[in-house]
A = this chain, B = another copy of it.
């Protein structure tokens, strides 16, 4: 990774971790197990790709960090709730997450379920309380759309339905399941900035390409990674006869498509100059090992 991006990510990740920790610090009279499970589901070493992307876009649009940080945390909290629920036995039944026991393995299914529910409520509360009032309602509407039936949860339902067999079906499923929240990461700062239609469109194109690249990379890592590098169980989708970019295209073609989408993302990002954080982020997502 270019040293400038590495430094940026290190610095921003620290800012995000601190803010998440503050948001997940509760008064002492709350049910302890639930509070601990909420903290565990969020503060257990995620890569913070979504909030880091959001902060990078905000910086390029000259949106103050204090204004975007609550949304970035809300987004990461929604992402984390979805992981706690997806790992449950009735869903993907995954015992490992981020190299540690998944939330229900540590706290039991009931508490993990409630932790996810409570995290989702907290995310909306944070935006309503801490974002500039003139933008907060749009940010909430868009987060609801990105995470609900027309977004993440809709994609998860398609995935679970077993009906995803072809490449177009796979793309539609991932555009919802993973793409919608990544799209939100890139476009939420637009609610807080005045900008041109050209920049708006470039960011949307960037988000589409990065979202697709992200999922292809996930499928490749799932096919070639180990539990040690991934921090979770590899090969699960293929083992369940689920379609992935690797099973449908083969490893080589999947890697070609990943490179092509990363290129598309970079082309869109060039509107911000020859060297910028979004180019570096796309490159980082291409090269990541987990």
Q: Which stretch (A150-158, A204-212, A223-231, A244-252) binds chain B?
A: A150-158
B114 near A157: Cβ-Cβ < 8 Å: yes
Q: Which stretch (A44-52, A56-64, A117-125, A195-203) binds chain B?
A: A117-125
B137 near A133: Cβ-Cβ < 8 Å: yes
Q: Which residue of B lies closest to A160 (CB)?
A: B110
User: Could you say which interface size class chain A belongs to?
Assistant: 35 or more
Q: Which stretch (A6-14, A31-39, A261-269, A272-280) binds chain B?
A: A31-39
Closest approach, in angstroms, between the C-beta of A41 and any C-beta of chain B? 13
CA of A64 to CA of B226 in the docked complex: distance in angstroms? 59
Indicate whether A140 reaches chain B with its CB closer than 8 angstroms: yes
B121 near A144: Cβ-Cβ < 8 Å: yes
Residues on B with C-beta less than 8 A from A108 are 90
CA of A12 to CA of B46 in the docked complex: distance in angstroms? 47
B-contact 0/1 string along A127-142, CB 8 Å cutoff: 1110001001110110
A120 near B120: Cβ-Cβ < 8 Å: yes
B144 near A125: Cβ-Cβ < 8 Å: yes
Say what secondary structure dominates the interface of chain A. Answer: helix
A149 near B34: Cβ-Cβ < 8 Å: yes
Indicate whether A238 reaches chain B with its CB closer than 8 angstroms: no
Closest approach, in angstroms, between the C-beta of A231 and any C-beta of chain B? 23
A-B contact pairs, 30 of them (CB 8 A): A26-B150, A27-B150, A31-B157, A31-B158, A34-B149, A35-B149, A81-B117, A85-B113, A85-B114, A85-B117, A88-B90, A90-B108, A90-B113, A113-B113, A116-B117, A117-B117, A118-B148, A118-B149, A122-B148, A124-B140, A124-B143, A124-B144, A125-B144, A127-B140, A128-B138, A128-B144, A129-B137, A129-B141, A136-B137, A137-B137
* Known interface pairs A31-B154, A90-B109, A125-B145; 16 further A-B residue pairs with C-beta atoms within 8 A, sorted by A's residue number: A30-B149, A31-B157, A85-B114, A88-B113, A91-B110, A111-B160, A113-B113, A114-B156, A117-B117, A118-B149, A118-B153, A118-B154, A121-B153, A125-B148, A128-B140, A129-B137
